[in-house]
């Protein structure tokens, strides 16, 4: 039986390690490239958009929106992550496009005074929450009637597949439970079927589905990750096609009101 998570998790105190382990690697570069491709029409929107980035971390992806002239509300539960993001954006001369808040998702409706947004980003957040189902209802509340929710989450199905391929049969049979937790590794990947049901219950519709790292995480020879440009090209070519868009280590869905 899975141990129940009673509180949300954050990256407080490990912002630099997070950046180094995620965004300075091939997997982070793939993530950013996929998001940029999937949201290119919104990045290039002629009218400035109101954007809410939840669990924004260091704000690497929202920089593309800010640089295109959109206004971004950057929020994260970890104060040091927000401070690092502010310094980064100041260095890039993008600070005028941002407002920053240190707060968990649950406090944002009151903090933001029930404002609504053209684009809500919620990337790699659900798998760190104690109650991801309730998060979907909160996310819906931030959307304008024609707004877009960009939701990316850690795929439980892909984690099962990868660990069976690696021969970690006992780990899979134990329900993906381990005694020793790795702080930068999500401990509660989310089942896509559950997320789809939560969205349906909140009358939200999935418009597009993409897999993130459909091939990267299954490479038998890890040295092949160094052939990055070729690998990225294959990821982008196939990751919106079935069945590849279902086996990415993360899934990116574009969502709107139903």
Binding-site annotation, residues for S-adenosyl-L-methionine: 31, 55-56, 76, 123
User: What torsion, rounded to 10 degrees, do the Cα atoms 140, 6, 108, 248 define?
Assistant: -50
Q: How far is CA 257 from CA 185, 193, 254, in A?
A: 31, 19, 11
Helix (H) or strand (E) holding 52: strand 50-54
Helix (H) or strand (E) holding 102: strand 98-102
Tokens, residue 214: 């459909």
| Residue 112 region by backbone torsions, left for phi larger than 0, else alpha for psi between -120 and 50, else beta | alpha
Q: How far is CA 129 from CA 3, 116, 136, 192, in A?
A: 13, 22, 11, 15
CB 130 within 8 A of CB 8: yes
């Amino acid at each position: 039986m899975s141990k129940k998570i009673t509180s949300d998790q954050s990256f407080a105190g490990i912002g630099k390690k997070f950046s180094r382990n995620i965004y300075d690697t091939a997997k982070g570069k793939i993530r950013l490239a996929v998001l940029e491709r999937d949201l290119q029409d919104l990045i290039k929107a002629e009218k400035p958009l109101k954007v809410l980035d939840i669990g924004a971390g260091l704000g690497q992806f929202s920089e593309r929106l800010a640089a295109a002239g959109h206004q971004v509300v950057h929020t994260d539960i970890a104060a040091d992550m927000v401070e690092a993001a502010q310094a980064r954006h100041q260095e890039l001369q993008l600070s005028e496009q941002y407002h920053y808040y240190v707060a968990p998702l649950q406090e944002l409706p009151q903090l933001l005074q029930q404002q609504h947004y053209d684009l809500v980003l919620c990337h790699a957040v659900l798998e760190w929450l104690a109650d991801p189902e309730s998060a979907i209802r909160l996310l819906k509340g931030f959307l304008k009637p024609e707004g877009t929710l960009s939701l990316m989450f850690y795929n439980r199905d892909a984690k099962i597949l990868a660990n069976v391929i690696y021969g970690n049969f006992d780990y899979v049979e134990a329900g993906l439970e381990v005694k020793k937790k790795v702080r930068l590794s999500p401990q509660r990947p989310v089942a896509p079927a559950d997320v789809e049901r939560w969205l349906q219950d909140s009358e939200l519709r999935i418009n597009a589905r993409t897999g993130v790292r459909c091939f990267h995480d299954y490479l038998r020879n890890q040295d092949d990750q160094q052939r990055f440009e070729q690998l990225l090209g294959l990821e982008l070519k196939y990751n919106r096609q079935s069945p590849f868009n279902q086996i990415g280590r993360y899934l990116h869905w574009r969502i709107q009101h139903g």
